[in-house]
Amino acid sequence: MTDLDGTAAPRSYRPGDWYGVLGPQVSLLLPPSERSRVAGLWEVVDAGAGFDVVLDALLAGGLSDLSGFVLWSATDGVTQAVARGPVKVVFTTAEGEEVLDGSEAATWAERRVAGVRSTRVEVEEGAGPDLGLVSGLVRVGRVDEPAYAAATDPVEPADPVDPVDPVDPVDPVDPVDPEDPEDPADPVATEDVTGLEAAPEPAPGSDPLADPLNDPLDEPLRDPLRDPLADAEVTEVLAPAWSRPAPPVAPVPPAAPAWPGHDGGTRSGYDADAPGPVPPGIPGQPQAPAVTARPVARLVLSHGETIEVDRAVLVGRAPEARRFGAGEQPRLVTVPSPHQEISSTHLEVRPGSGADHGSAVVTDLGSTNGTVLVQPGLAPESLQPGVAVQLIPGAIVDLGDGVTIQVTNP
């Protein structure tokens, strides 16, 4: 996936809950309920398949359970689209706009339009931001081809400027009566043209040269915002800074011992046993409960064991749950590691929260040899210790030493 500036990218999108499978030839939007089918369809679209091939793959599982979708492509100057459910496609041509509404069709609505200048696909209401995109798998609420550019208000012309005084605009001047130099209608005739104000008369018995604000005999003005200690009487005169001894340097506390579950070889500063671990998800959004009502994913381990993810799952050579309180008891899963490549508590899989709600997330707990994640349609990535990553059905988590975990739907 490549993101560009919205004005330069061939298309733009607004974030939302629908899945956008946006390829170089064909684009497809699916509702959140079709999450299990997104990865497989992305592989077909990313491979450059045509409109009919993608439509056949989309309908391979049947139409009755497919609550909504929109599929479109442009070939040889003709844009073709099919839509079902609460979706709307707006085509802009030289003659105006044509609208394809999927909610009005029993099966799906179809339209072929020639000479399309722009296409707008809407599945959710909402305002920006509009993000540029070439192709990729993203969560969207609206897609524009070409990239959306907001209309700007016209700039009003500036007021005329007086050539003599470029600061003030030109104002009509009240003519002065030559026979009456003190015409009250002329404001200039009644003011002091020298620009100097008469000094106020000094009070009797006062020194006209004294500044009442700087007079050392008067009490200085108090600033209500000042620290009240600033006005306290100073009883000790400090010696110059260069003559005072330097303050003692506080001793550096010894480093904490390595968590035994990480074999003393943790590669990063993430401490999985530190008090108050950083919760998964997005700060400020509600966290997932300790135990969800139903599993969000199923883990199939390479040695045959199957685990439901309805709470935190700790996987490792000899996992421990030290950092969990009494109210949250994770599921401990022990895996073989004949060469000791897997850490005692290697990684955690738990229900996601915030933007990851309804799916599972995986977090490497600072393992010695690391964890590799392979997601459908994406390049393999090494997990960063302490950083939660959302899992897509079909993902493979490689712990090393021949142990892998496959993620499937529950």
The token duo for 320 is 């421990």
The answer to whether position 115 is within a domain reads yes
The token duo for 45 is 């679209």
Gap between the Cα atoms of 142 and 191, Å rounded: 65
Instruction: Give the H or E element holding residue 138.
Output: strand 136-145
The token duo for 305 is 């064991």
The answer to whether position 245 is within a domain reads no
**323 touches 278 (CB < 8 A):** no
Q: Note the pLDDT of residue 139.
A: 92
Total domains present in the chain: 2
Q: First-to-last CA distance in the chain?
A: 28
Please count the other Cβ atoms lying within 10 Å of the Cβ belonging to residue 175: 9
Instruction: Characterize the bridge pairing of strands 347-351 and 360-364.
Output: antiparallel
The answer to whether position 350 is within a domain reads yes
Gap between the Cα atoms of 136 and 98, Å rounded: 27
Last residue of a domain, one of 145, 169, 200: 145
Q: Note the pLDDT of residue 204.
A: 56
**Residue pLDDT tens, the chain, 410 long:** 334 443 345 899 999 999 999 998 899 999 999 988 888 899 999 988 999 999 998 888 788 888 899 999 998 889 999 999 999 999 999 999 999 999 877 788 999 999 999 999 999 887 778 888 888 889 999 999 998 875 434 444 444 444 444 444 444 444 545 555 454 444 444 444 444 455 555 555 555 454 444 444 444 445 544 544 444 444 444 444 444 555 555 555 444 443 344 443 333 344 444 444 444 444 444 555 566 778 999 999 998 899 999 999 999 999 988 766 666 788 999 999 999 999 999 999 999 887 778 899 999 999 999 999 999 989 999 999 999 999 999 999 999 999 999 999 98
The token duo for 71 is 């599929």
Cβ neighbors of 286 (< 8 A, separation 6 or more) are: 353, 354
b (16+ CB within 10 A) / e for 120-147: bbbbeeeeeebbbbebbbbebbbbbbeb
Provide the residue range defining the domain that includes 390.
Answer: 289-410
The answer to whether position 182 is within a domain reads no
- In a 13 Å sphere around the CA of 288, the CA atoms on its Cβ side amount to 29
The answer to whether position 302 is within a domain reads yes
Gap between the Cα atoms of 215 and 15, Å rounded: 66
The answer to whether position 69 is within a domain reads yes
The answer to whether position 394 is within a domain reads yes
Last residue of a domain, one of 145, 169, 194: 145
- The DSSP result for 300-318, as a single string, is EETTS-EEE-SS-EEEESS
b (16+ CB within 10 A) / e for 354-392: eebeebbbbbbbbbbbbbbbebbbeeeeebebbebbebb
Last residue of a domain, one of 123, 145, 167: 145
**126 touches 16 (CB < 8 A):** yes
The answer to whether position 173 is within a domain reads no
